[in-house]
Amino acid sequence: MFNKSIREILDDLAKGEYSSREITKSLLERIKALDPDLNSFITLTEENALASAEAADKARSGGEIGSLCGVPIAHKDIFCTQGVRTSCGSKMLDNFISPYDAHLVQSMAKAGVVSLGKTNMDEFAMGSSNETSFYGPVKNPWDTERVPGGSSGGSAAAVAARLVPGATATDTGGSIRQPASLCGVTGLKPTYGRVSRYGMIAFASSLDQAGPIARTAEDCALLLEAMAGFDSNDSTCIDRDVPQYSASLDNDISGLRIGLPKQYFNGDTNSEVGKLVDQALTALEQAGAKLIEVDLPHVELAIPTYYVVAPAECSTNLSRFDGVRYGHRCENPADLEDLYSRSRGEGFGDEVKRRILVGTYVLSAGFYDAYYRQAQKIRRLIQQDFVSAFDQVDLIASPSALSTAFKMGEKSGDPVEMYQEDLYTIPANLAGLPAMSVPCGLMNNLPVGMQFVGRHFEEGLMLNTAHQYQKRTNWHELSPEKFGGQG
Ligand code: GLN
């Protein structure tokens, strides 16, 4: 039962092969047996899960049901869940029980999903390896000495180990796509504004976007249909119809123009990764796509730009964690100053503190023009590069990550090296564009991912292309042997 996709689970539930309660129970048992090895969950919500599975079974036996009725999933612990701890991977929020549900949590509940719990993540979603979580690192199910990527490493590892068929995640600079790539699963970051950010703990508000991680493009389409849509509680959420992504997966892709940025195919990538991506592109060519070189002249500035903009926004967003209203508060503060500084000093980990310091610095009166304003200008140039490239092509392809999963501890001592992990993913966040990662091979038995970036709101075309690729290949079907797969 554990090896089923969301599509298959929906078909089985409809045919009565098993109930939502049965699959929910069996996945909960599987998580309890296997997750101690992975640490992909921070909180399991067993009782709530069984209650919603029973409600889903009852709903299915009569009347109208949601599109994902009875499907077990997990939520990244960045989404507020009413009555359940919402930690964001931080000691700061270890004691925080959210009084309300995030909009995404609510919409998915309306669609009928059964949430099994909250997945582990880098603290406040800052990281590329899941080593910064207060709850300990997540391990990569393909090799438990290696990282799963981050910050949505818990969601990606849980899907890869077949603990859940799908999970929610967030992506500010690559946190859906890079862990999806390193864990051999499919992940999609929607267009900025497609999914409400209400109740999603903010890291960098102009870049943050929620999306799905699942085994297949088809499952991502089904999850995205349930997540996306207008919400008046998020002023950046766009009021625009949500297409039925799952209905256009079988469209013919002949004539599709895929752009290959010359800056990305220049030998920087590990050459084995490059070879696997080339093979994947050949498969798409055989399906009728045309490959065209494109130029993104400013894309090389994406990482430094991001590491000015994201820390600036995070330093502002995280100022609310002051030990006064909620979250960690130090013992016996001497005065207000002491309360703030010790609560924050004790509650935040090193990476979060580093970002707050950088952010405060680049926003300070003396340096604002030199750093923050410059970064905003470059951000605009990067956006314009994509707009011009999309005059010539329909999608842009590249590797999702520089290489395969690296060893724990290998990069955690060198933040600048860690920041390079998001070389291919950050530009889409800066430009607000939708992007996804699809498994496209194995290298020394570790997964490699290919990335697609689309025009604003063209998630449908990306999912269609990814589905056509997955119909012709089986990389997305492989899973780590240690967790019952055939990888
Ligand atoms: N790895 C990037 C960072 O550390 C991106 C994180 C994210 O997308 N949440 O900021």
Q: Is the CB of 40 under 6 A from ligand 1?
A: no
H helix count then E strand count, the chain: 15, 11
Residue 265 — pLDDT band, cuts 50, 70, 90? confident
Q: Is residue 91, in this structure, part of any structural domain at all? A: yes
Q: What is the pLDDT of residues 286-304, one digit of tens each?
A: 999 999 999 999 999 999 9
Share of the chain above pLDDT 90, in %: 96
**331 Cα: distance to centroid of ligand 1 (angstroms):** 32
- Does the Cβ of 437 fall within 6 Å of ligand 1? no
Ligand 1 mean position to 152 CA, how many Å?
9
SS3 469: helix
Confidence of residue 460 (pLDDT cuts 50, 70, 90): very high
Which among 41, 236, 207 has a CA at the least distance from the CA of 126? 207
Distance between CA 177 and CA 200 in Å, rounded?
18
Predicted confidence at residue 270, as pLDDT, reads 66
Q: Tell me: the pLDDT tens digits for 52-64? A: 999 999 999 988 8
Tell me what pLDDT residue 244 has.
98
Identity at 453, one-letter amino acid code: V
Q: What is the mean pLDDT of residues 297-312?
A: 97
Q: Rounded mean pLDDT of 223-234?
A: 98
Q: Inform me whether the pLDDT recorded for 487 exceeds 90.
A: no
Does residue 166 belong to any structural domain of this protein? yes
Question: Does some domain include residue 349?
Answer: no
Number of the ligand 1 atom closest to the C-alpha atom of 176: 8
Q: Which atom of ligand 1 is nearest to the CA of 127?
A: 4
* Pocket flag, ligand 1, residue 140 (CB < 6 Å): no
Q: By three-state DSSP, how is residue 221 classified?
A: helix
Q: What pLDDT score does 267 carry?
A: 63
Tell me, yes or no, whether 30 lies in a domain.
yes
| Closest listed residue to residue 41, CA positions, set 136, 111, 129 | 136
In angstroms, what is the span from residue 127 Cα to ligand 1's centroid? 5
Work out the average pLDDT over 393-420: 95
The per-residue pLDDT for 266 is: 73
Distance CA 178, CA 187 (A): 9
Q: Please report the pLDDT score of residue 486 as a whole number.
A: 53
Q: Is the beta carbon of 173 within 6 A of some atom in ligand 1?
A: yes
Is there an atom of ligand 1 within 6 Å of 468 CB? no
- Confirm whether 79 is domain-assigned: yes
Residue whose structure tokens are 């570790």: 446
Active site residues: 76, 151, 175
* Token couple for 338: 């002491």
19, two tokens? 């109930």
How many angstroms does the Cα of residue 175 sit away from the middle of ligand 1?
5
CATH of the domain at 416: 3.90.1300.10
Q: How many domains does the chain divide into?
A: 1
> Given pLDDT bands bounded at 50, 70 and 90, which one contains residue 271?
confident
479 lines ligand 1 (CB under 6 A): no
Q: Is 425 in the pocket of ligand 1 (CB under 6 A)?
A: no
pLDDT of residue 413: 93
Q: Which residue has the tokens 């068929």?
A: 165
Say what percent of the chain tops pLDDT 70: 99
pLDDT tens string 170-191: 999 999 999 999 999 999 999 9
Q: Is residue 304 exposed (0-12), middle (13-18) or buried (19+ Cβ within 10 Å)?
A: middle
Instruction: For residue 58, give its domain range.
Output: 6-258+391-483
- Whether 340 maps to a domain, the answer reads no
Task: Please report whether residue 176 resides in a domain.
Answer: yes
- pLDDT reported for residue 173: 98
Q: Does pLDDT of 154 surpass 60?
A: yes
Model confidence, pTM: 0.97
Query: Residue 277 is encoded by which pair of tokens?
Result: 């991506």
Mean pLDDT of the chain: 96
Q: Is residue 304 assigned to a domain?
A: no
| pLDDT per position as a tens digit, 330-389 | 999 999 999 999 999 999 999 999 999 999 999 999 999 999 999 999 999 999 999 999
CA 205 to chain centre: 15
Section 276-280 average pLDDT: 96
Which residue puts its alpha carbon closest to atom 5 of ligand 1? 173
Ligand 1: centre distance to CA 169 (Å): 12
